[in-house]
Structure 1
C-alpha cells in the first residue's frame, strides 16, 4: 500500500503541474483587448444539408460590422435546399461568393475537399472559418478575431461556445467538456505549443494553408480539417488565441447522450493522428486524471493514511476548481463552475468508454 501511496502522490504532482503550470497560463492571463484592423477577410462556411441553419445564421454573418470582408459559402453536394438558399444569398448580398461542390469519386463526402475548393476561391488573404450551424456572438466577431493577427501571428484560435439548455445536466457536461478542451489548447498555444483548434471559430492567413499543402497529408482521414491542420501548421511563432467575448461563436449542442458520445469518439479518433509529443501531453493529463481518482478510491476504501490521501485529494480539487473557475469566467461560462467535481467524474469515464469503443468500431464522420 505504501507504493500505491507514492504513486498517488506522483499522480497528484502531475495534476498540479498541468493545472497550475499549463492551464493557469490561460486561466490567469490578463484580459485581452481589441485593436481593430482593416485586414481583408474571407469568412468561409462549408455546409452539407444545413438548410435550417443557413437560413438563420448566414444573414448574421452578412450583417457583420467590418469594412472589408466577403463570405464564401460552400455547398458540399447537399441533397436538401441548402444550395438554393445559398444562391438566394448570393443574389441578396454583394459580398457573398458561392462555391458549388459536386460529388467526387476520389473524395466523396470529404469535407476537406470541399473546404479546399472554397479556400482556393477566396479572394482575401486572411481566412476566418465557422460552421454552418454556428453564429457569432456579436456584429464585431470579425473585428475581434482579426484584431489578433500581426505580422508574425498568422493563425488565430477562437472559442466556439455551445448554447445553454435550461435544466439539462447533459448540457452542463457538454459545455464543461468544451471549456476544458479550450483551456487546454489555448494554454498550450500561449506556452508556444499549439496543437489544435476548432473549425467553429478559427482564422489563418491563406499562405499557411499552402505552406503545408493544405489537407493533403491527412486527406484520407475524414475528420481534422481543423484539429489536424492546426496540429501540422501551427507553431509558437505563428499562432495566437482570441478570447474577448466579441470573438466567440455559438452553436447548438447535442441533445442526447448518444450523440455526445459519438462526438467524443470522433474527437478521440482524430487525436490519434496528432504529433507524438501532443499525444503524449494529452495522454499524461487524461491518464493521470483517471488514475488519480481510481488510486484515491482504493486508498480511501482501505483507510490507508486516509488523512494524507484525503488532504491531497481535496487540495487537487481546490486547485483544479480554482483554475477552471477563472478560465470559465474568461469564456463567460460561469454557471458550470459549481458542477465541476461531478461533471469531471462523468467525463473521465465517458472518455475511457469512448476510447475502448473506438478499438472495436469506427466512429461516423462528415455527413
Structure 2
C-alpha cells in the first residue's frame, strides 16, 4: 500500500516540476526571448522624435558606487539626456565624487537633499526633490549601484517604451555576485522570477500579479504625476511595488522585461546587507500578507530544500540499514526534482546570466531567505522597524 502511495507521490511531484519548469526546459529561448530587451543599437530612423529623459539617482553614502554609475551614464549614446544626483544627507565622499564628474559634463546636476521630514522614507523624499528639478518627458529612477553595461541602454528603453506605449518599464538586471553569500542567496530570487508563468502574468494588464525591479524604473512622466508620484507614497517602504501596483490598478501599462544585456546590479555586497535589505523589503513587498508569506516559505521548502533532504535521508538509511525499496523510492523522489532545479539553473545561467557557481547549495540559500522572511515578518508585525542606510523605519 505504501509503495503505491509513494509511487503516486513520485509521479505527482515529477509532473508538478515538469509543468512549472517545462517551458524553460524544453524551449528556453522561445520562453524567454519575448521578454528580453537586447543591447543592439536602435536604428536612428526608429525614433519618430527624441524625447528628453531625466535620470534621477538618489545617493546616500554611495562613495563606492556612484562613480561607476555616473561614468556609465556619461557613455550613453542617447542625446537628449540630463542626469540628476540627489545627495541624501551623505556623510561620506559621495557629493565630492559627483562634483568631480560635474566638471566633465554639464548635464549632471547635484541636489543637496533636505533633512528628512516626518512620515517620509529617505529614498522617496530624495526622488521627490529630484523630480522637481527634472525637465524630462521620461523619468528613469536609477539606484547608485546600477551600472549601464550597454551604451545603448537608454536608447533601447526609450524605443521600447514609445513602441509599446508603456507607462512604466522595469528591467531585471544581470546580478553581479562576488562574495560567497551573494552567489548562494541572490540567484534563488531569479530562479522563481525568471520563468514564463511569472513574466507572462506580470505583463498581463488583466492579472493582479505585479512585480518590479526597484533599482531601475522608467516612467512616462505624465503617468507618474497622474498617479501621485513619490509624494503619494511617501511613507511606503516598498515604494517601487506600490507604484507598480497603482499603475496596474489605474489601467496604465506596466512592462516587466529582462535587461541583462543592458545593465548590471550589485545590490548587496555582504551578508549583513543582504539580511538588512531583504528584511526591509520582503514581508512589506507581500503587502504584509501572512498567508502569502507562508505560501512563499512552503514553496521554497518544497522546491529547493525537501528534495535534497530526501536524498540525504534515503542515502543515510541505505548506508546504515541496507537495501529497502521504500528508501530507494524516496531517493528517486528526491533526486528527480533536485536534478530538474539544477538543470533550470544551468539554463538560466545561459539565457539570463544567473550566477550558477553554488547551484548545489541552493537549499542553503533557500533556508537563508526563509530566515530573512521570518525576521521581516517579526520586525514589521511587532513594530520593531527595519534599518537601512543608517535610518530606522517603524511600521505604522
- TM-score under structure 2 length normalisation: 0.74
Report whether the alignment pairs 1:272 with 2:283: no
Q: How does 1:186-201 map to 2 (within 5 A)?
A: 186=199, 188-190=201-203, 193=207, 195-201=210-216
Deviations 1:184-217 (A, max 9, x none): 6645424554522223223121233223322456
Report whether the alignment pairs 1:263 with 2:277: yes
For residue 299 of structure 2, give the secondary structure of its aligned residue in structure 1: helix
Deviations 1:99-155 (A, max 9, x none): 332103324662111112212322112122221122211222212333321353222
- CA positional deviation for 1:8: 7.3
Structure with max Cα Rg: 2
Find 2:349's aligned residue among 317, 322, 328. 328
- Stretches of structure 2 that go unaligned for 5 or more consecutive residues are 318-323, 380-384, 391-396
Report whether the alignment pairs 1:53 with 2:65: yes
- CA positional deviation for 1:175: 4.3
Taking a change above 3 Å as real, the CA distance of residues 71 and 294 of structure 1, as seen in their structure-2 partners, is same
Q: How does 1:169-188 map to 2 (within 5 A)?
A: 169-180=180-191, 182-183=193-194, 186=199, 188=201
In the other structure, the counterpart of 1:29 is: 32
Report whether the alignment pairs 1:99 with 2:99: no
For residue 87 of structure 2, give the secondary structure of its aligned residue in structure 1: strand
Deviations 1:305-330 (A, max 9, x none): 44444434333234333333323322
Taking a change above 3 Å as real, the CA distance of residues 25 and 125 of structure 1, as seen in their structure-2 partners, is farther
Report whether the alignment pairs 1:354 with 2:366: no
Contact 2:168 2:255 in 1 (8 A): yes
Taking a change above 3 Å as real, the CA distance of residues 343 and 232 of structure 1, as seen in their structure-2 partners, is farther
Contact 1:158 1:202 in 2 (8 A): yes
Taking a change above 3 Å as real, the CA distance of residues 346 and 322 of structure 1, as seen in their structure-2 partners, is same
- CA positional deviation for 1:46: 0.5
Contact 1:296 1:309 in 2 (8 A): no
Taking a change above 3 Å as real, the CA distance of residues 237 and 215 of structure 1, as seen in their structure-2 partners, is closer
Taking a change above 3 Å as real, the CA distance of residues 294 and 246 of structure 1, as seen in their structure-2 partners, is closer
Aligned length: 357
In the other structure, the counterpart of 2:301 is: 290
In the other structure, the counterpart of 2:157 is: 145
- Stretches of structure 1 that go unaligned for 5 or more consecutive residues are none
Q: How does 1:1-367 map to 2 (within 5 A)?
A: 5=6, 14-20=16-22, 28-30=31-33, 32-33=37-38, 34=40, 35=42, 37=47, 38-107=50-119, 110-149=122-161, 150-165=163-178, 168-180=179-191, 182-183=193-194, 186=199, 188-190=201-203, 193=207, 195-216=210-231, 218-221=233-236, 223-234=237-248, 238-251=253-266, 253-255=268-270, 257-273=271-287, 280=292, 284=295, 286-291=297-302, 293-294=305-306, 297=309, 301=314, 305-333=326-354, 336-337=355-356, 339-340=358-359, 342-361=360-379, 362-367=385-390
For residue 42 of structure 1, give the secondary structure of its aligned residue in structure 2: strand
Mean Cα displacement is larger for which, 146-155 or 33-42?
Answer: 33-42
Contact 1:144 1:244 in 2 (8 A): no
- CA positional deviation for 1:45: 0.4
Q: Distance in 2 between matches of 1:252 and 1:71?
A: 21
